A and B are shown apart, each in its own frame.
Chain A
């Protein structure tokens, strides 16, 4: 299954320490050779300051008890540095943690710096030291400390580049700590900053965005609201273009998110369009499932792809927990398309395609019919599902098209009236206008309901 493993794609766009959980996961799945994995982990962490852990990895790889001297040296060095930084930042940390100070800080960063400088003798160098200390802490694996420090730094610093970098550090720390709530907010902030900042070159912005896409996966698939968040974020035009330009494999996660998020069904159309445009650069079973279902309408292929999906998702660090959810929803989409197209459906065939027992399938279909208010009936005699496809008859179409006209004309009329009496009583008119509109809307809703009842042809 190494074929569909995205770890290699993702490593360049993640932080060292964020990669670690990925590697851990992959090694438990046994996709790659265990020794290679160990080496990779060692290589990964040897550039951080987590000396002890690296040392134990070293021992595992080389199967020795004693560590080379450099480990001890490095350890001493790291500890020395930590102490040094701690001393240096002592003053400013005290100052910041003083609630009085926190209360007096304002939006304006320059003003804040001035305040700190005047009343508490904090120099910009000290603030910078916060950043360094935070980075050091992060490298040592002390994420809680680094998150705090970097947060303070990003509030105080006036250097936009370092601020951005501190925000990344904070996000990574929160992710590694597992504070999803905080991480989610941090990520949104970061997203905003990236959009607002003017980067020197478009490439740089592209890079920032693709980082964000990758890092956000940790958050989205762990935060309760993540499923909505990922769809909203990834489908933003700039992120779609980022996916298509820099990291098409992210399409898997987008697809999975859209499929599992049944409430946002209308996103499917958009997704299909993107998939159609992108499949020439990247494809995997998850995407191919959607492609087979919505582009080629090849149900057999879609079914077989769905089977593959199970394995692929299981091997994926982020999606492994969503496998069942995905399969359930994928079946739902499958059935929906199937029902839309067919008049009579053979239950045996369908259950086979969906990979279910016939009885379970029957139950499932009943549930489906109830959930979606499809106009369908199960015929036990032939063991079929009979659909009553409903088309908007022409008169209904005409009604629908002209329905809004009344409202629109009224608004227009109201606008003209308002304009006439604009000079005298502007606010009053506005309120009145709004009331009118609300009434109008209610009126319409009522009208529509009545109409629906009369026609008794609900549209899915």
Chain B
């Protein structure tokens, strides 16, 4: 049944009641008189629990069922106590307590069944009696456990019932015949009488009227009706309350009908025992009639709203059409009441949400002053949100409407600074808001949740619209108005100083800004300039206007200072992302390292982790754009080689062969997905990764000739795998996709053919997605020349006695000075066993490097390494198994020094490339972490611990020392 009519209906009900025939009032007075008698009956009846078998009943109310149950279980307990079956007693006791709790709720302050109290009493007696040890020892363990449990629980539980138990103690006689189950004539009558109050109670419960005492029996019903008229509390209208209740509750109309029937039957059968039967009957008859009428009315109203006014003969004014009819009834004075009744119906079953919206819109036109308007608008926003139903996302039209409403609300608040909305406002009980004259007023509500919801709905719609359709673009246009709304809300929150809300709204604002470039943002930001509160904001100083970096920084800075840790983290990640987007690599990286976010991000929620991954990916791209190949590689390595970059960046789901996701999980992942326009281009990311890999891996592979380390562990497994796969193919066509291009380039690079390598790389189309594409291509070309030179030297060093610097410069299109610098670096670092002859301008390879190529010698070297590893393993085994985690003996003191010297010597012979890589890598993993530790000095132990793993695995120069150090620490 539509909400809209319910409000009216309650009116009609009250009208109806006030003009009702004298019969009803007669009934009331009579009932009041009869209360005394029925009261007595009721009390008596309650004491003697009815024996239900005597009365044939069609339907039992829930309460009756419960009281029966409680009786039964109580009896079972009593029996069990006598038989010393304490285990059962324990379980039964739990059961009975549960039922009693339910029953006492339904009974309100009626007394619980006598037998229950008795049971409690007996239990207490039995447990407190105290048992001798011998007696206990006879029983088995289970029983004793049960006994102790019951004892404790009873002692605790009975405290609440001490009064009733005392009563029972004082007069245990009644219970005696009750337990016998004897049902004499008076008993039967009493039983019947007892049922009556329960029944009526069952119904009046639905009205949720003020708590009446059980003695009020039937009269309670009618009284509650009349009292509800008098009082104008929020749940004044009996009709609406009971109606909706009976609809929404599981006991449907039909059941209550049944009940009524059953009631009628008992009445007929036992009528002779009842003195007040006539009056009762009358009420009973009257009730259904009234109810029927209400239902009928409702049905008609639902069918034809226009006729509602005519149909309701209770109305004094009759209008045409629903709204016209409502007008005379709903005035500014009683608007709040109507509003409340509409709002109350919110969230109930069978509420027509659309009707609520239109009704509220009607109210809006009536609202006399800003306060009322604000109230109605708030209601309207919620109603509009509700009315989207179960659709995947709010229909766009509705979304627009909602946005307009929120904007209206905001303008209202801007125009009336005295009105404020916050969650802790006190709800005004009086309905004098029509007298509002501009004084300060607080409304309870949460504007932030409206804006949150609006934004979420927007995101959800973008998630569900196909990004390649014009519709998506159309939808994207709403970003700007939405952003304006958010900023307006922010100004508002700043004005009234809701700290929590400010933080949330600022984060929302950031979420709209961080992924876009400054130009776009500046364009968007231009739209907020005409806003009334613009420039007054303390969060974004006026000086920052126009400078998007400053705006974002000030927003973030505000969050760093004021927000809770989660919001802070997110703000930080967004700022990192934004810095990286604008090529401010160092700033972004330092922020990331200083925040120590990488240490605890795995504990964060999924969305934050996604944001972290995004920031990392963007950082990688930024490094690449600056030509920092190694850094770009490091940042993207984990992301890309995981093979799950889609999930990690929340940009879709990768088909996984091995594991099947449950539908729920899939749903969850879909919800998490970011709208398309925010996505980082995965192909670009992969391309960046592969290009970096190529530039690092190819010379590294070539150096395997002279550097045995290089043969073992590839820097980028993924790249190696791809290259191997590519090489195994019988026929290789011209490159088509990005990956093909890079593979072709890699192969060209490996042979020193830098020109074709450069062409292959520059042919990749996806570079055009990067803003400074030409610049990057140029940088890449230089890098390729350099790496080609290095690769060439590594590969062919054994074949040459000497190489001319100028020839090299010629071959690779580099300047002599550059070649010189490169060679010097390689020589100094020990990558090349050679030296430069300054006089003749040639690089002379030393004889030692020839010897390296001797097979036997190489094998000997490998053997030496293996033996070393063997010794390492032995030591570790000793540490673990024998020495309880300590290094063997006193080696640490004398041996450390030794080890150091040894280590140093070994390092000398190591390739610099290796060292450099390790250093740089350390720069990312631990070393940098260390250096960026800020003031947090003690983070170092952890950092080097983290570094240790990698160092050891890669067998780098730091590895051994680190591992050994680690052993010492252990």
Interface residues of A (CB under 8 A from B): 195, 199, 202-207, 209, 237-238, 240-242, 244-245, 266, 273-274, 277, 280-281, 296-298, 337, 340-346, 349, 382, 384, 387, 389, 391-395, 397-398, 400-405, 407-409, 411-412, 414-416, 418-419, 430, 433-434, 437-438, 441, 459
Contact A409 B871 (CB under 8 A): yes
Contact A400 B860 (CB under 8 A): no
Known: A277-B928, A394-B852. 10 other contacts (CB 8 A): A205-B936, A238-B933, A241-B931, A244-B931, A343-B838, A395-B857, A395-B860, A405-B871, A412-B888, A415-B889
Of the candidates B894, B919, B935, the one whose C-beta lies within 8 Å of that of A242 is: B935
Contact A241 B909 (CB under 8 A): no
Rounded to whole Å, the gap between the CB of B298 and the closest CB of chain A is 65
Shortest Cβ distance from A297 into B: residue? B824
Task: Enumerate chain B residues within 8 angstroms of A238, measured Cβ to Cβ.
Answer: 933, 935, 937, 940
Contact B931 A394 (CB under 8 A): no
Measured CA separation A415–B906 after assembly (Å):
26
Measured CA separation A209–B933 after assembly (Å):
13
Give 8 CB contacts A-B under 8 Å. A202-B935, A202-B936, A340-B828, A341-B823, A389-B846, A400-B906, A404-B902, A437-B895
Shortest Cβ distance from B836 into A: residue? A342
Task: Enumerate chain A residues within 8 angstroms of B867, measured Cβ to Cβ.
Answer: 402, 405
Measured CA separation A318–B374 after assembly (Å):
69
**Does B723 count as interface, using CB distance less than 8 angstroms?**
no
Which of B411-419, B614-622, B875-883 forms part of the interface with chain A? B875-883
Rounded to whole Å, the gap between the CB of A38 and the closest CB of chain B is 34
Q: Which of B769-824 contact A (CB under 8 A)?
A: 817, 820-821, 823-824
**Does B172 count as interface, using CB distance less than 8 angstroms?**
no
Measured CA separation A434–B871 after assembly (Å):
21
Shortest Cβ distance from A299 into B: residue? B824
Measured CA separation A296–B824 after assembly (Å):
8
Contact B849 A391 (CB under 8 A): yes
Measured CA separation A408–B931 after assembly (Å):
34
Task: Enumerate chain B residues within 8 angstroms of A441, measured Cβ to Cβ.
Answer: 894, 898
Task: Enumerate chain B residues within 8 angstroms of A394, measured Cβ to Cβ.
Answer: 848, 851-852, 854, 857-858, 860-861
Contact A241 B882 (CB under 8 A): no
Task: Enumerate chain B residues within 8 angstroms of A419, measured Cβ to Cβ.
Answer: 882-883
Q: Using an 8 Å CB-CB cutoff, how does the interface string of B250-262 with A read, 1 for contact, 0 for none?
A: 0000000000000
Contact A384 B839 (CB under 8 A): yes
Contact A433 B890 (CB under 8 A): yes
Contact B821 A297 (CB under 8 A): yes
Shortest Cβ distance from B824 into A: residue? A297
Task: Enumerate chain A residues within 8 angstroms of B817, measured Cβ to Cβ.
Answer: 298
Contact B889 A433 (CB under 8 A): yes
Shortest Cβ distance from B825 into A: residue? A297
Shortest Cβ distance from B936 into A: residue? A202
Known contacts A297-B824, A392-B909; A205 and B919 CB within 8 A of each other? no
Of the candidates A195, A241, A411, A438, the one whose C-beta lies within 8 Å of that of B933 is: A241
Measured CA separation A206–B933 after assembly (Å):
10
Contact A402 B868 (CB under 8 A): yes
Rounded to whole Å, the gap between the CB of B583 and the closest CB of chain A is 13
Rounded to whole Å, the gap between the CB of B808 and the closest CB of chain A is 15
Contact A297 B839 (CB under 8 A): no
Contact A343 B932 (CB under 8 A): no
**Does B431 count as interface, using CB distance less than 8 angstroms?**
no
**Does B534 count as interface, using CB distance less than 8 angstroms?**
no
Measured CA separation A387–B864 after assembly (Å):
30
Contact B861 A237 (CB under 8 A): no
Rounded to whole Å, the gap between the CB of A129 and the closest CB of chain B is 33
Shortest Cβ distance from B932 into A: residue? A241
Rounded to whole Å, the gap between the CB of A321 and the closest CB of chain B is 30
Rounded to whole Å, the gap between the CB of A332 and the closest CB of chain B is 16
Task: Enumerate chain A residues within 8 angstroms of B928, measured Cβ to Cβ.
Answer: 277
Measured CA separation A266–B901 after assembly (Å):
12
Query: Which of the listed residues B838, B857, B858, B899 has the most CB atoms from chain A within 10 Å of its own CB?
Result: B838
Task: Enumerate chain B residues within 8 angstroms of A412, measured Cβ to Cβ.
Answer: 871, 874-875, 878, 888-889
**Does B833 count as interface, using CB distance less than 8 angstroms?**
yes
Contact B931 A240 (CB under 8 A): yes
**Does B835 count as interface, using CB distance less than 8 angstroms?**
yes
Of the candidates B824, B849, B878, B933, the one whose C-beta lies within 8 Å of that of A237 is: B933
Task: Enumerate chain B residues within 8 angstroms of A281, measured Cβ to Cβ.
Answer: 586
Measured CA separation A430–B893 after assembly (Å):
13
Known contacts A341-B828, A344-B838, A394-B852; A237 and B930 CB within 8 A of each other? yes
Rounded to whole Å, the gap between the CB of A114 and the closest CB of chain B is 34
Main SS class of interface, B: helix
Of the candidates A195, A266, A297, A415, the one whose C-beta lies within 8 Å of that of B891 is: A415
Contact A404 B838 (CB under 8 A): no
Task: Enumerate chain A residues within 8 angstroms of B846, measured Cβ to Cβ.
Answer: 389, 391
Contact A342 B837 (CB under 8 A): yes
Contact A402 B864 (CB under 8 A): yes
Measured CA separation A366–B670 after assembly (Å):
75
Known contacts A401-B865, A411-B889, A416-B882; A344 and B871 CB within 8 A of each other? no
Known contacts A237-B933, A340-B828; A346 and B848 CB within 8 A of each other? no
Contact A274 B931 (CB under 8 A): yes
**Does B397 count as interface, using CB distance less than 8 angstroms?**
no
Rounded to whole Å, the gap between the CB of A54 and the closest CB of chain B is 36
Q: Which of B214-232 contact A (CB under 8 A)?
A: none
Query: Which of the listed residues B824, B858, B940 has the most CB atoms from chain A within 10 Å of its own CB?
Result: B824
Contact B933 A273 (CB under 8 A): no
Contact A393 B848 (CB under 8 A): yes
**Does B497 count as interface, using CB distance less than 8 angstroms?**
no
Contact A341 B827 (CB under 8 A): yes
Task: Enumerate chain B residues within 8 angstroms of A280, measured Cβ to Cβ.
Answer: 586
Known contacts A245-B594, A411-B891; A273 and B935 CB within 8 A of each other? no
Query: Which of the listed residues A242, A297, A395 has the most CB atoms from chain B within 10 Å of its own CB?
Result: A297
**Does B321 count as interface, using CB distance less than 8 angstroms?**
no
Task: Enumerate chain A residues within 8 angstroms of B824, measured Cβ to Cβ.
Answer: 297, 341
Contact B909 A204 (CB under 8 A): no
Shortest Cβ distance from A412 into B: residue? B888
Task: Enumerate chain A residues within 8 angstroms of B858, measured Cβ to Cβ.
Answer: 394
Q: Using an 8 Å CB-CB cutoff, how does the interface string of B674-717 with A read, 1 for contact, 0 for none?
A: 00000000000000000000000000000000000000000000
Task: Enumerate chain A residues within 8 angstroms of B234, measured Cβ to Cβ.
Answer: none
Query: Which of the listed residues B858, B874, B909, B935 has the most CB atoms from chain A within 10 Å of its own CB?
Result: B935
Task: Enumerate chain A residues within 8 angstroms of B823, measured Cβ to Cβ.
Answer: 341
Shortest Cβ distance from B878 into A: residue? A412
Rounded to whole Å, the gap between the CB of B925 and the closest CB of chain A is 14
Measured CA separation A419–B878 after assembly (Å):
11
**Does B557 count as interface, using CB distance less than 8 angstroms?**
no
**Does B934 count as interface, using CB distance less than 8 angstroms?**
yes
Task: Enumerate chain B residues within 8 angstroms of A296, measured Cβ to Cβ.
Answer: 821, 825
Rounded to whole Å, the gap between the CB of B831 and the closest CB of chain A is 12
Top 8 closest A-B pairs, CB basis?
A: A297-B824, A391-B848, A205-B935, A415-B888, A415-B889, A206-B935, A238-B937, A202-B935
Contact B838 A345 (CB under 8 A): yes
**Does B905 count as interface, using CB distance less than 8 angstroms?**
yes
**Does B539 count as interface, using CB distance less than 8 angstroms?**
no
Known contacts A244-B932, A277-B931; A418 and B889 CB within 8 A of each other? yes
Contact B878 A416 (CB under 8 A): yes
Query: Which of the listed residues A195, A341, A344, A392 has the most CB atoms from chain B within 10 Å of its own CB?
Result: A341
Rounded to whole Å, the gap between the CB of A293 and the closest CB of chain B is 10
Contact B898 A404 (CB under 8 A): yes
**Does B98 count as interface, using CB distance less than 8 angstroms?**
no
Q: Which of B913-933 contact A (CB under 8 A)?
A: 919, 923, 927-928, 930-933
Task: Enumerate chain B residues within 8 angstroms of A209, measured Cβ to Cβ.
Answer: 935
Shortest Cβ distance from A399 into B: residue? B864
Of the candidates A397, A409, A430, the one whose C-beta lies within 8 Å of that of B861 is: A397
Contact B940 A397 (CB under 8 A): no
**Does B908 count as interface, using CB distance less than 8 angstroms?**
yes
Task: Enumerate chain A residues within 8 angstroms of B821, measured Cβ to Cβ.
Answer: 296-298
Of the candidates A337, A402, A403, A437, the one whose C-beta lies within 8 Å of that of B890 is: A437
Task: Enumerate chain B residues within 8 angstroms of A403, measured Cβ to Cβ.
Answer: 902
